[in-house]
A and B are shown apart, each in its own frame.
Chain A
Amino acid sequence: MDAATSLAPATAKRRGRAFRVLPGVELITLAALVAAPFLLADRPELVTLMTNILILSLLAISFDLCWGYSGIMSFGQALFFGVSSYVIALVGRDLDFSQLWATLPLAMLVGFLLSGLMAAFLLLGRRTPTSIFVAFGTLTGAYAAERLVAGWQYVGAGNGLSSIKLMAFGSTEFVEGPAFYSIALGILVAVFALSRWLVRSQLGLVLAGMRQNEERLAFFGYRVQAFRALVFSVAGAIAGLSGALYAYHQGFTGPSNLGPGLSTTAVIYCLFGGSGTLIGPVLGTAAIEGISFVLSDTDAVRQFWPVILGFVLLIVVMFQPTGLLGLVVSTRERIGSYAGRRR
């Protein structure tokens, strides 16, 4: 005991000044994303790829808020993504309206309400739900929605909705390209900053405590499930935003955008990059989509892509559960420090 106590203050001090990796990773990523459209000016297909990565990163971040921060194994993120994509497609088709200042907030609202509703069912019951129950509940929701939409003529049934009205601001319309990229980047940076603030606030500390011992937090007097539901709803809003941008960018949405397949892809983005870091999911999305792009010319690979992804997931879960970032970021840094100065 005495040896340990005499060493303690010294180690504490060393840790206080410890080199932090995450801010560096965040800055480098941001710099790369800002530079990309200039570097890729003569490769439009790569700008399109990068725009897709930005948009899907939002989906990956939304899953990270659920799993990495709140311990909710959600297989339903695509549900909020997909429903919002359909909503903005229908608003464009039936109301001939696609002003982003209204439709993007609308997509967020749809995601927020839908996930809030789901949280009320799955999380806020009288009994504390198990994580298996939540995983199956969200999975079932996504699966049911995909089936439902695939058989519904009004929303294009199995063919989905194509030629979606272009996203617009005033009289400017945005097709894929540097302008759309800039909007997506701006939104990603804003969402990232907001999420970062959330998970580094005292609410984030509560979430960190919940992940370690949920029961203990309940006995302190925290309404654990209410916090879960709140974060789940915020994540749903982000997934909705992602879905709307995706549909505008592709000009198309279909039943597979609602289902367990895309939900699982979001899980892979996040776990591959490193859950519980926010920037990890962005890197994971970039890595997976980048590899997929490079390999997509090879027919054999394209056919087996889902299988390859499945293996990636297995390998990550078994050998590197903290993902790519876990290789360079210490546990202590990942669990983190929380906002506000002391003393």
Chain B
Amino acid sequence: MALLDVTGLTKSYGPLRALDGVDLTVRAGTFHGLIGPNGSGKSTLLKAIAGAHFPTGGTIRFDGADVTTAPPFQRARLGLSLKFQITAVLPELSVYDNVLLALQAHDRTIDLLRSRSRARLAPRIMDALDRFRLADRADDLAGELSHGEQQWLEIAMALAPEPKLLLLDEPTGGMSPEERRVTGELLAPIKASCALIIVEHDLDFIKNICDRLTVLDQGRVLGDGTTDEIENDPRVREIYTSRV
């Protein structure tokens, strides 16, 4: 059974149909790319999966449960993790505290009050920071990091709780080519434990890391298949040569 099953998803903003009957299936352990021109509904789709808004129609099943209208915290508990398009680290907290917050989200209130988690989770936090080359910035405020580092911190935060599915909306936006390459390298090893849906405009980047691609255009699925299939699909070519 698929990890994520989206069927017939619709989202209307007034007369605008940002999503218009979208189907999407993601299996465990696959990297799934979401591409399409500006305004095609990619972010809207990710947000519906995360619970940032509820769809107008259709269903979302995650890990066997219907989560179409579940609040975000419940989806997080089921193993869903995300990084939105706009970077959202907590700028006035230390890098360390940012990851700590990501890790203790499911602790009971009484445990939060007793504050044992800070020491208990230290190895995992430093491990997460190490993986994203942020270990020596642990005590700095997250707001002091460079833009690229903030993106990494957010990915580190999203991965720290060991989710089953990670949603990334343009994680390499504003990164230098070198930082992009490193990001690809940093993401590769998570495949063993976590599926990924990633939105990217950089087609080379996405072809390198993804197994499957879904193409959106004006809220509809234009194509869905393996990276090679999509690359050779003439309709997709048309969009990417004429309109982007």
Contacts and interface: CB of A to CB of B under 8 A. Distances in A.
B118 A221 contact: no
A219 B112 contact: no
A8 B93 contact: no
B231 interface: no
Contacts of A224: 73
B31 to A, nearest CB: 21
A343 B77 CA distance: 27
Contacts of B124: none
A201 B72 contact: no
Contacts of B92: 208, 212, 331, 335
Give chain B's interface residue range (CB within 8 Å of chain A): 35 or more
Query: Which of A198, A202, A212, A218 has most chain B Cβ within 10 Å?
Result: A202
B16 interface: no
Nearest to A11: B140
B122 A343 contact: yes
Contacts of A221: 72-73, 76-77, 105-106, 161
Given A9-B136, A340-B116, A209 B73 contact: no
Contacts of B152: none
Interface residues of A, number: 39
Which of B76, B92, B161 is the most central at the interface, judged by chain A CB atoms within 10 Å of its CB?
B92
27 contacts: A1-B146, A4-B146, A8-B136, A202-B107, A203-B109, A205-B97, A206-B101, A208-B92, A215-B52, A216-B88, A219-B51, A219-B76, A219-B82, A220-B76, A221-B77, A221-B105, A222-B105, A223-B73, A224-B73, A332-B141, A338-B115, A338-B118, A339-B115, A340-B119, A341-B118, A342-B118, A342-B122
Interface of B: 50-52, 71-73, 76-77, 82, 88, 90-93, 96-97, 100-102, 104-107, 109, 111-119, 122, 126, 136-137, 139-141, 144, 146, 157, 161
Interface of A: 1, 4, 8-9, 11-12, 15-16, 198, 201-203, 205-206, 208-209, 212-213, 215-224, 227, 230, 331-332, 335, 338-343
